[in-house]
Amino acid sequence: MSSIVSIKDLSKTYNSGFEALKNINLDIKKGEILALLGPNGAGKTTLISTICGIVSPTSGSVTVDGNDIITDFRKTRAMIGLVPQELTLGTFDTVWGTVRFSRGLFGYKRDDAYLEQLLKDLSLYDKKDSEIRALSGGMKRRVLIAKALSHNPEVLFLDEPTAGVDVELRKDMWKIVNELKSKGVTIILTTHYIEEAEEIADRVGVINNGELLLVEQKVHLMESLGKKQLVIELKESLAKVPSSLDKYNIELSDDGMHISYTFIVKDEETDISDLLQEITNSELHLKDLKIVQSSLEDIFVDLVKEK
């Protein structure tokens, strides 16, 4: 897959001296959904604001489809749609008026048929003549998406699209994002909801303190960094882990009823069959066993802690 957004050595230091981005290098592939994960203040919003032209970079370069975001800003911005984190809308504007305004701002002629379909797709059509102030938070979020899509962008940035929205709306948003992906739109979303990245992203980037810690296919990330834990429930309480199992770093629960073994799936040294053989030989009486897989959240927390 070819890159549609290419970021090279991008840094941003605000006038206050705060280094929001430190030497970021990233290629975003055409048609993918990339989730940028990071805690508050990690630099996620600064990164997408820089690409969209709201924040000026201190150094480095960004190209969109080969065009520089500063020298060819008209070409790059015409390809991009941005849904900001805050519900920033003119309160007295109507839904129809504000979406038409956005389309015109991007230099496109009026196309009522396209905008009507867009509002229908986002379940906003019956609210088209309503003033923004009369809409719920979820509806306002949809209006922001409609504005961002009013000029049919190839790349869509969603800054915390589901921050503060209920579960139902969050799932609706995921559905919208997946539909856009199926139409070929490249989507970059920032989030601190791990399950959001886990649910919809193709690749995951982890950003913290202005540094891009890694960018990885979600599946590979889960496989390579994902830990599994074998938890064995015993029939009788155990006072101490048998010495024959010492090499496995087995953990014993406080009540002595569970032993657990944590392993990395890809790790070549991991050999579950040997361990199970040893457990059998040590004459422990097993009641039940289960394997717990670490979530993206666990991976994320580990990565951020490491750095």
Partner 1 sequence: MNFMAIKVIYFNEMLRFWKTLFQSIASPVISTALYFVVFGSAIGSRIEDIDDVYYGLFIVPGLTMLSVLTQSISNDSFSIFVPKFTGTIYELLSAPVSFYETLIGYVGAAATKSLILATIILVTASLFVELNIAHPFWMLGFLVLTCISFSLFGFIIGLWADNFEKLQIIPLLIITPLVFLGGSFYSISMLPPLWQKVTLFNPVLYLVSGFRWSFFEISDVGVGLSLLMVLLFLSVCIALIAWIFHTGYKLKQ
Q: How far apart are the first and last CA of the chain?
A: 30
As a whole number of Å, the CA-based R_g of the chain is 24
Q: Which stretch binds partner 1 (CB under 8 A): 47-55, 177-185, 212-220, 294-302?
A: 47-55
Q: Which stretch binds partner 1 (CB under 8 A): 33-41, 106-114, 189-197, 255-263?
A: 106-114
Among 8, 29, 30, 75, binds partner 1 (CB under 8 A): 75
Instruction: Say whether residue 92 binds partner 1 (CB under 8 A).
Output: yes
Instruction: Say whether residue 86 binds partner 1 (CB under 8 A).
Output: yes
CB distance 285 to 235 below 8 Å = yes
Mask of contacts with partner 1, 6-45, x by CB under 8 A? --------xx------------------------------
Instruction: Compute the distance between CA of residue 227 and CA of residue 265 in angstroms, rounded to an integer.
Output: 6
Instruction: Say whether residue 102 binds partner 1 (CB under 8 A).
Output: yes
Instruction: Say whether residue 187 binds partner 1 (CB under 8 A).
Output: no
CB distance 36 to 5 below 8 Å = no
CB distance 64 to 155 below 8 Å = yes
Instruction: Compute the distance between CA of residue 274 and CA of residue 182 in angstroms, rounded to an integer.
Output: 45
Question: What's the min distance (Å) between Cβ of 2 and partner 1?
Answer: 23
Mask of contacts with partner 1, 237-266, x by CB under 8 A? ------------------------------
Q: Which stretch binds partner 1 (CB under 8 A): 83-91, 188-196, 199-207, 227-235?
A: 83-91
Scanning the structure block, which residue is given the tokens 């890694």? 214
CA 235 to chain CA centroid, Å, is: 42
Q: Report helix, strand and coil shares of the chain as percent, to nearest 5.
A: 35, 30, 35
In the window 52-71, what residues touch partner 1 (CB under 8 A)? 52-56
Q: CA torsion, points 178, 183, 186, 189, in degrees to nearest 10?
A: -30
Scanning the structure block, which residue is given the tokens 């009522």? 112
| Number of residues engaging partner 1 in binding (CB under 8 A) | 32
**Site residues (CB under 8 A) for partner 1?**
14-15, 52-56, 73-75, 77-78, 80, 82, 84, 86, 88-92, 97, 100-102, 104-109, 147
